[in-house]
Structure 1
Amino acid sequence: MSVVGRSLRALARSWQQRSVQIASLGALALVLAFSAVVPFERSPERSARAERAPQRTLSEPPARRIVGPEKLPAPSPADAETTAVLAVGKAVGPIRHGGGARHMVALTFDDGPGPFTGPLLAVLRRTNTPATFFQVGRNLDENPLPARATTLLDEVELADHTYTHNSLVTMDFGKQQDEIVSSAATMQAHGEAAPRLFRPPYGAYNQDTLRLMNERGMAMILWSVDSEDYTRPGVDRIVDNVMKAVKPGSIILMHDGGGERSQTVAAVAKIIKRLRGRGYGLVTVPELLLKDPPQKADQEVAVVPPGAGEGAG
């Protein structure tokens, strides 16, 4: 089990000791319903190309961001998933998909937590589906209830998606470092483990970002299937976008934050059912990289032009 998995179990036990009972779907839904009243910044819908994607405009940066270590400690030898993640990241660089040798895929969700994180978690819990969430640090501070609910599911991997969701390619090394470190420290302040996975906003990165991954001890996770849910094309279109492109080893991009995501919530249940109907196993990104590691030559990741990452992210 990964560091995150153990952390989530420990946190769940702590909540039980405080008589906070969120063991059933009904209780989880009650907690998540309250999250709908927490303020959440809705950004403009984004295009599928990073250079055309409107950037988030945050009102004021926080007076103080939490500061964390610039480098994470080496994982325990017993932590097979984290060890595999770092080994693949070092060997491959940015990761778009698994190796494709096994019939498994990973669902990933960006930009939360927010008002739609709770209903999405309810779907995942009801269907017993693992997933990986790339969280925006600022949204953790603004939406504490769905953030806490996320940590209570054992089969959820939590990952870093910067603090403000601004494009990294517009920043120098120091500012990129602040975005990644501050987000990770915020996640830890909310009871989460230090993230080992990172996804750059809009899929846009440069050599400074790659240097940070190497120095900090993290792996960059992109995607191979873009659901295009951020365009709100309708539930059936989101489902079709995924099912037409999916193949063994796919990393599927969707969103639980960054806008109105009711279509995504409705589509996810259908996607899960259809994927399993085709015989796919659904896993977290670390489990995918452990059981079906990719090769560098398979990643089809050339040097990405500044600001021209594919998909939303």
Structure 2
Amino acid sequence: MSVLVVESSPWNANDFGIPYPTYFHPAKDADVFLWQDRLRKLERKWLFSFAGAPRTDNPKSIQGQIIDQCKNSKVGKLLECDFGESKCHSPSSIMKMFQSSLFCLQPQGDSFTWRSAFDSMLTGCIPVFFHPGSAYTQYTWHLPKNYSKYSVFIPEDDIRKRIVSKEQRLSQISPEEVKIMREEVISLVLRLIYADLCSKLETLKDAFDVAVQTVINKVTKFRRDIMDGRADDNLIEELSWKYALLEEGQNVGPREWDPFFSKPKNGNVDPNGSSVEAAKNSWKNEQIQQ
């Protein structure tokens, strides 16, 4: 069984991540093209922005540090979501902020990812991720495997240990690079939206079309392999996130993201625990042996 979910588990082989539904559901192709043209012309006065609240119940969350940096920045915009009547429940407030920003900060939410990542890309805002599980390892049907084409990656530990400042890192990206990345994000809008249910796009494929076609292709390949006597008996389900990143003919091996996906036997992931240290050492040893 193949299960399509808005967030997949990196350790399960049969569930696949598909984009969260956003606020935009075009009825025809022209709606999409008009939206993309509008995004290209927007004036983006903020270098970066963030909509969220500190996770006081989670000491390992970096959202509090991100909020502090936004408050102390003259080029960052913050939409706080935890006090009184939150503007985060207003689509217009969120989308307006994203549309006026070059980069949108997307740390982990209650889990690896959250809807905000797709809302920001819908506005042509370049996402900044802090964990590979937020997008890179689970939305491979809808997003490029070369994540540097459309996003910026800053490891969580660099924020926790104050090794790097988000503002400094993002300000180092040249205007020409920003333009290329933003155009890539705008082009991805086609694959991230879900069209109006009462209509049908003429020539474009939305997120639903991409997902269904990919499942059909997987089933077709699976049937062909059975008929040809080929079976994948060596599948290691706990490394599922790696399989999603493989190209044709590649084998599963050590990756730089291994420490992010260490899974202790009790099922609880500790980003700073001994299991992560073990994964780091394992990866280093495998690299040395190679």
Which is higher, the Rg of structure 1 or of structure 2? 2
TM-score of the superposed pair, with normalisation by structure 1: 0.29
